[in-house]
Amino acid sequence: MRKFFLLLALVLLVQGMPLFAQFSQPTLPELKESDFFYHNVTIEKVYIYRLGYMVIYRRGSSNHFSRVYLPHDWFTEASGPGEVIYLGPGREWPSMTVFYRDGEFSHIRLRLRRERNHPTWGVFPLNVNIDEMFQNVERVQLEF
């Protein structure tokens, strides 16, 4: 009988513990806003030139296109503002992501098809000279 009362007291104590628990509001983790924002656009054509890439991209969801000139130096230097990611086989279409920090150009990421026979790759004719388009390029400003 004594064991019965001890067991009953123990069960009541365990079940009654939530009555004495402190009620507190659940705290959400503090949300921190990033200094970065980005624009991602679909690449229609990438032309390789001896000084860099000329990228033709689609503006929004329309059939209007714009172009940017990206020097090779951006992609060859370790601390350069450019990065190329080569896509393997699959259906993913090439894209360009431009990152801005506090409203100023930060860096760019090209996702290009590895296969050079993909329809997005192009080559300039040998008699074309667009050297001046790659000089003094310091930032990318996309048109929409």
> For 71-117, how does the pLDDT look when each residue is reduced to its tens digit (9 = 90+)?
999 998 878 899 999 998 888 899 999 999 988 999 999 999 999 88
> What residue type is assigned to position 65 of the chain?
F
| Alpha-carbon span 93 to 113, nearest angstrom | 8
Condensed to tens digits (0 to 9), the pLDDT of residues 107-136 reads: 999 999 999 889 999 988 888 888 899 888
What whole-number percentage of the chain has pLDDT above 70? 92
Spatial CA neighbour of 43 closest among 106, 107, 108, 134: 108
Show Cβ contacts of residue 24 under 8 Å, excluding neighbours closer than 6 positions. none
* pLDDT of the residue at 62: 75
pLDDT confidence of residue 88:
87
Q: How far apart are CA 30 and CA 82, in angstroms?
A: 32
Supply the mean pLDDT for the chain.
86
Q: Give the whole-angstrom CA distance, residue 13 versus residue 16.
A: 5
Tell me the C-alpha distance between 31 and 21, whole Å: 28
State the pLDDT at residue 41: 92
Assess contact for 112 and 53: CB atoms under 8 A.
Answer: no
Helix (H, G, I), strand (E, B) or coil at 20: helix
The pTM for the full model equals 0.72
Q: In terms of Cα–Cα distance, which of 51, 40, 37 is closest to 142?
A: 40
Secondary structure class of 79 (helix, strand, coil):
coil
Q: In the prediction, which pLDDT does 17 show?
A: 66
- Residue 31 pLDDT: 78
- In this prediction, residue 11 carries a pLDDT of 73
